[in-house]
Structure 1
Amino acid sequence: MKRSVRSWPCLSAWRRLRTLPRDERGASAIEFALASLPIFFLFIATIEFALDMTVDVTVQIAAQAASRAGLTMTAPATGTRATQAEQIATQYLGTWKNVGATVTVTQLDYVAFSNFGSSTYKAANGPGNCGDVEMYTIQVTMPAFTGLASWFGMPTLNFQRNYIVQNEECTS
């Protein structure tokens, strides 16, 4: 029995391959797959950036509130002035501690503005003396909210604010 040309399997496949470039079925699914990936990453990056900026503003507000407590010569009722500043900072930054942030507050006593920026300081445990220049540093270290930041070499995020106050002058 002689086969007709139409029934040859390879010829049928060849005809299908020739019509494939004109076939537009599934084109919108491929376009969606190609366009949705960058849009998804842009969306996640926007969320990460907004949350990071929120943490940064919160650290700034905490530093301002803690610096107001550092202006007076009155010793805190309990603990040191750095401990008091850390408690105030924790009030503002407590939400971020719930997601794995660590908050550290350090206090340095420079005695005078002329010593500021040099290595002439002492680690302060108390409020300092009358007229001393004190520097408080609030640092927040936390993991990134999304995994996107670790792709760019930032597995942890650091937010820091320094504030400098001069203790009130003593009146005699």
Structure 2
Amino acid sequence: MRRGGASLVRLVRCARDERGVTAIEFALVAPLLLLMILGTVEMALDMIVDASVQYAAQQASRAGLTTAVPSSGTRDAQARQIVNNILDPWTKFGGVINIATLSYATYNDIAAGNSQKTMGGLGDVVAYNVSVTIPPFSGIPKLIGITSMTFQRNYIVQNEK
């Protein structure tokens, strides 16, 4: 009878012992905390990519807005060079840059779909579409089935007359 009582006492002592509780709590919380930290970093990097696409499209539309011919090359080449210079760092992470320009004689032609793939002439309306498709920086988006993300901006401006 003593033996059974002694093991019961040891079991009660072990149940009251709080050594190692911190390690167990850490083991339970650490994966969730790591997931949240990586998710926050992923979201911050995605916001930086999105802001750089916005900036690139804005700068390209400003460069193409004037109808003055640049000192070297064409306005289209100049706008593409601006976009590529701004978005080039994302190609090192597997990003693919896409630049499209469409020219319309008037704003009404946009709805009608009457476009040309040029930078337009004096007074023409030009639509700039800049996008970057990039794989996720971390594995977090892949957990929910996102294998690539596309960041896109469109600007519609009227060339100077």
Q: Same fold (TM over 0.5)?
A: yes
Q: Look up the match of 2:27.
A: 33
Q: Look up the match of 2:143.
A: 151
Deviates more, 1:150-159 or 1:45-54: 150-159
Q: Secondary structure at the match of 2:99?
A: strand
Structure 2, unmatched stretches of 5+, are none
Amino acid at match of 1:144: P
2:153 alignment partner, one of 138, 143, 161: 161
Q: Look up the match of 2:15.
A: 21
Is the aligned partner of 1:122 residue 2:118? no
Identity %: 41
Cα offset, 1:74, TM superposition: 3.1
Q: Look up the match of 2:98.
A: 104
Is the Cα contact below 8 Å between 1:133 and 1:167 reproduced in 2? yes
Q: Secondary structure at the match of 1:100?
A: coil
Amino acid at match of 1:78: G
Cα offset, 1:51, TM superposition: 0.9
CA distance in 2, matches of 1:168, 1:157: 35
Is the Cα contact below 8 Å between 1:48 and 1:146 reproduced in 2? yes
Is the aligned partner of 1:53 residue 2:24? no
CA distance in 2, matches of 1:123, 1:75: 19
Aligned residues: 160
Q: Using structure 2 for the length normalisation, give the TM-score.
A: 0.86
Cα separation, partners in 2 of 1:151 and 1:67, compared to 1, 3 Å? same
1:44 alignment partner, one of 19, 26, 38: 38
Is the Cα contact below 8 Å between 1:74 and 1:127 reproduced in 2? no
RMSD: 2.2
CA distance in 2, matches of 1:130, 1:95: 34
Q: Using structure 1 for the length normalisation, give the TM-score.
A: 0.81
